[in-house]
Amino acid sequence: MSLKHLSLLALASFAYAQTNETAPDLAQALNSSSELSILNGVLAGSPELLGQLGGLTNITLLAPSDAAFAEVDNATLSGLTGNAGLLTALLQYHVLNGTYLASAITNSSVFVPTSLTNPLFTNVTGGQRVEAINRDGNVTFYSGLLSNSSVTTANVNFTGGVIHIIDRLLVLPETATDTLSAANLTSLRGALNATDLVETVNTTPNLTIFAPTNEAIQNIGSALANLTTEQITDVLTYHVVSGLGYSSGLENGTELTTVNGESLTVTIGEGGIFVNNARVVVSDVLIANGVVHVIDEVLNPTNKTLADTGADEGESGFEGATPASEVPYTSGQPTPTTTIGSEATEAADPTASGAPTSTAAAAPMQTGALGLGALLGAAAVYLM
């Protein structure tokens, strides 16, 4: 369903491009808006970058408004504009490949490739993705840490495509482990540390990670205590799939191959999206090398029983396991300093074709001005 939807968007963008030859160029279009004075100033100070962006065709530029820049603290903005490589990466992430009018974005999520391909910042084939969806009449884009940016002014024409003005800068997706920390999935992060899997999950391209909550891992504490390090490694790698599995592309009965060579089965029903015994409770958290889905149970490679999809929660895959007194693997793990969106995925409509839409609706990441880590994610290290 997602490929079909993206193809329809691409067809619409091609048709639009044929009628856009008399529009202003990028610089003229940006300067025509009173909402974009800060962005215009940033680009005026980076003429080479403006030239690069202005030379692109068949694109959609998500242009942060002055109000969006006002959420960024002065130190971060100064550091960003003083680092050409980082500024380029961030603005490339605001460039969608294809011309997408607001009317073409529906209530079914699509994950649109962007112009960000620099391996220092992303390891996703075809360009890092942005989730696009029309939510209750508001065209919204989700980026790293489920940060949401809404369109305030749509369909500003220019020769290379179309501009949508947005109310918040997109956030560059972080590494898998930093995202786990931000999502308070510290038990999984600690387990990855303990089994030397951090480099694997952070650097392997195009991964889908099903991440159990801290509670899910604590609930099988007695089973974990009886496993060897090799067995725990096998359990952890059973949660990692080679390939990009955004929720819009998951269909009932889909089998996914994990990095340890085993298979997971996706089932979709009234209760939502399930993988084997576990229910997806937060979907489509974008990371530097793929996507994370949060699940409510730990997957067991030796027990591939499927959950009842009519239920509103998953079922334990470790029969007879009892909870640990404390959350395993969290000793020494960093306390989250940012947050991610907290709403869970909606239950799938079993009468609808294809996969359910993602509902990773995000609250603002924090109430104050956005700091370095919150805005730039893993890329913040390049300013230090």
* Chain segment 219-249, per-residue pLDDT in tens: 999 999 999 999 999 999 999 999 999 999 9
- pLDDT tens per residue, range 48-84: 999 999 999 999 999 999 999 999 988 888 888 889 9
What percent helix, strand, coil does the chain show, rounded to 5? 35, 25, 45
| 138, 29 Cβ separation under 8 angstroms | no
What superfamily does domain 2-171 belong to in CATH? Answer: FAS1 domain (2.30.180.10)
320: left (phi over 0), alpha (psi -120 to 50) or beta: left
Please work out, in degrees rounded to the nearest 5, the angle formed at the alpha carbon of residue 99 by the alpha carbons of 95 and 104. Answer: 115
- Does residue 382 surpass a pLDDT of 70? no
| 214, 189 Cβ separation under 8 angstroms | no
- Does residue 10 surpass a pLDDT of 70? no
**Is 154 in a helix, a strand, or coil?**
strand
- Residue 341: the pLDDT is 60
Residue 236 DSSP symbol: H
Residue 347's pLDDT band, with cuts at 50, 70 and 90, is very low
| CA atoms of 120 and 4, how far apart (whole Å) | 31
| 279, 316 Cβ separation under 8 angstroms | no
Alpha carbon dihedral 83, 174, 160, 134, in 10-degree steps, equals -140
Alpha-carbon distances of 228 from 62, 193, 224, 306, rounded to whole Å = 49, 15, 8, 25
Predicted TM-score of the model (pTM): 0.88
- Does residue 187 surpass a pLDDT of 90? yes
Helices (H), ranges, 159-269: 176-182, 186-194, 198-203, 214-218, 221-225, 229-237
Structure tokens belonging to residue 286: 């974008």
| CA atoms of 277 and 314, how far apart (whole Å) | 5
| CA atoms of 302 and 306, how far apart (whole Å) | 12
Q: What's domain 176-364's architecture?
A: Roll (2.30)
CATH 2.30.180.10 domain residues, the chain: 2-171, 176-364
- Residue 300: the pLDDT is 98
